[in-house]
Amino acid sequence: MPERASWQVIAGLTGLLVLSSLVWMFQGIGGGNRSFILTLRATKLAGLITVGASIAIATVLFQTVAANRVLTPSIMGFDALYLLLQTLLVASVGITGFAMLDPTLKFLAEIAVMVLLAGLLFGTLLGRGARDIPRTILTGVILGVLFRSISGFVSRILDPNAYAVVQSVSFASFGSINASLLLPGGLIAAGMIAAAFALSSRLDVLALGRTAAVSLGLRHRRMVLLTLALVAVLVSVSTALVGPVGFFGLLVAGLAHGAAASDRHAALLPIAGLIGALILVAGQTIFERAMSQPATLSVVVEFAGGLFFLYLLMKGRIR
Amino acid sequence: MIEIHDLHYRVGAAPILSDISLSLPEGSLTALIGPNGAGKSTLLRLMARLEPLQSGRITVEGLDLATTPTDAMARTLAIMGQQNSVASRLRVRELVGFGRWPHHQGRPRAADREAVEAAIDAFGLQPFAGRFLDELSGGQVQRAFLAMTFAQDTAWMLLDEPLNNLDVAHARALMARLAQLVQDTGRSVVAVVHEVNYAAAWADHVVAMKHGRIVAQGAAEAVLTEDLLSDLYDTPVEVSRHDGRPLVLHHHSHSRIADLSRGRLPDRARLS
Ligand SMILES: Nc1ncnc2c1ncn2[C@@H]1O[C@H](COP(=O)(O)OP(=O)(O)OP(=O)(O)O)[C@@H](O)[C@H]1O
Ligand SMILES: [Mg+2]
């Protein structure tokens, strides 16, 4: 159970999230088409909350496995891997086949392959905690570049139409959410987040490092793979909904660690999820409504996250 | 009792441990000594299932390490590593509290909280209990990890260099506490110790290792002899006796002290 100071943070963040959701839903509404606009806004709101919470919680989980505050799933190439899977799928079934596949079914298959690959790749890389951090970062960056170049290469040998299909899923956009996947994606993300909450005490033990965790009787290897599987699913969901998001997770996880009274996951996970959702909902409300720039949020969030990354590196806060 | 049969361990082609057979009696404080790289940590980590068993057999209280579930093992044996740090931001009380995790799996009861406070008291951590680990000194952090291991309340405790970072008073207090615990509760402790005199003063049983092999084991008086220690560390040592226990003097400093007291050193040396 989170302690009191953390409860206050959780309550405050929940209040702010409700408030910005209300503004998002009802600001400037009137006249005809009310129900149409409300449905549209509600869909987008659900998407923003799903994506914000998924990325935030995936990042916190990943940082716990890696015992490191600089690494994130996207820095390690998780979303690039997901995009590569999509490209390979287009390449293997062809563009007409791609369009004809049931989106939910396709999505589930992608998630399954993603979990498998992420477990194989990152399970080996991080199984004993990332001991050599610079090397791990480098490996991740190289993997990301590798995945992206293979995606690029494969899509270029496809015909131009297919290339466009791949391109359209290669950039993050909080303004246009893939609505066809919102329901399955949201449900899956909710399930994963619930699982992470249920594991919070084990995650605390995992964060103590392998020696202490094994001494305390945690099945370390199983826990690492389980956590990476949760991360892989959450990243797949958010990437499928809005596309790849770079430094946003880093920013949110950093803020969550600062806001929580201590690093116990029972408090850290809800706080991170709320901050992630809040930034996207409040940010999108401001940019879309007040500034009429629905596509700007991702740029600003990425910029802030990138600055935070530099700050962490320069402060030498690698651990 | 911990029994080790015919244990070999290698990394790649390099043998790290060879031909280790050992039985450690219950209710004893065992000191594991030997030079850097002798394989002390590796042996302890194998006993604590932190490294995979390549060949041989280890049983703890009759439980075979290869087949016993790790959570059951955690209520029988605890290990504290040679290097202790945590990446996450935790208070001392939270860290010590994790020692109870094998007993409650995340739902602490009143008895668990009492055990945590007792461990905090035992290591003089009360003034720091509410502080974050990264706000403590090296020795205070070491005591916090020791308290966590104590709170785990297991029949066996494996401590890899528990005296690291501790000042003389805390080091002696720790050894005395370990000896007391062993005597009062019949629990067993295996501790890697570099300062041989702590082993001489408090250990019932001494195991000496070199080059991945056990070169001697037995009662402290039997193992801590001039010949054996000089060979073990490849440096001359002298052993005298104090209160019926061996007292190890490092040869160089001993003769220096003797020379000083006889006034034989040049002035320059005496000043420094
Ligand atoms: N991962 C590894 N790969 C290769 N060699 C290793 C590895 N880990 C340990 N060793 C080697 O195994 C030997 C035993 O190491 P170990 O840590 O058990 O020594 P130790 O007796 O605890 O030494 P110290 O007193 O310095 O702590 C050393 O020679 C070390 O170099
Ligand atoms: Mg060692």
pLDDT value at position B258? 53
Residue of A nearest to B93 (CA): A262
Which of B17, B18, B33, B41 most suits a substitution to test ligand 1, by most atoms within 8 Å of the C-beta?
B41
Confidence of residue B110 (pLDDT cuts 50, 70, 90): very high
Looking at residue B268, its pLDDT comes to: 42
pLDDT at B41 over 90: yes
The continuous run of DSSP H or E covering B60 comes out as strand B55-60
Question: Confidence class of residue B20 from pLDDT cuts 50, 70 and 90?
Answer: very high
- Name the residue in chain B with its Cα closest to that of A209: B86
- pLDDT average, residue stretch B75-97: 91
Sequence-distant (6+) residues with CB within 8 A of A152 are none
Give A16 to chain B, closest Cα distance, Å: 26
Structural domains in chain B, CATH included, are 2-76+154-269 (3.40.50.300), 84-153 (no CATH)
For A41-91, the pLDDT digits (tens) are 898 899 999 999 999 999 999 999 888 888 888 877 888 888 888 778 777
Low-confidence residues in chain A, pLDDT < 50: 129-130, 318-319
Is B227 in contact with B215 (CB distance < 8 Å)? no
pLDDT averaged over chain B? 89
Q: What percent of chain B has pLDDT over 70?
A: 92
CA distance B32 to B83: 17
pLDDT at residue A89, rounded to an integer? 77
pLDDT at position A139: 77
B9, B33, B36: residue to mutate for ligand 1 pocket, most atoms within 8 A of CB: B36
pLDDT of residue A309: 77
Q: For chain A, what are the domain ranges?
A: 48-318
Reported CATH class of domain A48-318: mainly alpha
**pLDDT value for A119:** 79
- Interchain proximity A69–B106, CB inside 8 Å: no
Q: Interface pTM (ipTM) of the complex? A: 0.87
Gap from CA of B61 to ligand 2 centroid (Å): 24
**C-alpha to C-alpha distance for B144 and B146, rounded to whole angstroms:** 5
What span, in angstroms and rounded, lies between the C-alpha atoms of B126 and B103? 23
Does residue B266 register a pLDDT over 50? no
Four-residue CA torsion sign, B18, B22, B27, B29: negative
Question: Across chain A, what does the average pLDDT equal?
Answer: 83
What is the structure's pLDDT at A85? 82
Grouping H, G, I as helix, E, B as strand and the rest as coil, residue B11 is strand
* Contacts with B, A 3-62, CB within 8 Å: none
**pLDDT tens, position by position, B169-204:** 999 999 998 999 899 888 999 999 999 999 999 999
Collect all residues of chain A within an 8 Å Cβ-Cβ radius of residue B113: none
Q: Between B49, B77, B90, which is nearest A263 by CB?
A: B90
Give pLDDT, residue B272. Answer: 37
Q: Is B192 left (phi over 0), alpha (psi -120 to 50) or beta?
A: beta
pLDDT in tens, B131-169: 999 899 999 999 999 999 999 999 999 999 999 999 999
Q: Residue B269: what pLDDT?
A: 41
- Choose, out of A215, A219, A223, A312, the residue to mutate when testing the contact with B (most B CBs < 10 Å): A215
Chain B residue closest in CA terms to A210: B50
Q: B50's torsion region: left (phi>0), alpha (psi -120 to 50) or beta?
A: alpha
Q: Which residues of A touch B135 (CB under 8 A)?
A: none
Nearest neighbour of A215 by CB, restricted to B48, B86, B95? B48
Range scoring the smallest mean pLDDT among A94-98, A299-303, B110-114, B212-216? A94-98
A319: chain B residues, CB-CB within 8 Å: 87
Ligand 1, CB within 6 Å, residue ranges? B 11, 16, 34, 36-42, 82
Q: How far is the CA of B45 from the centre of ligand 1 (A)?
A: 11
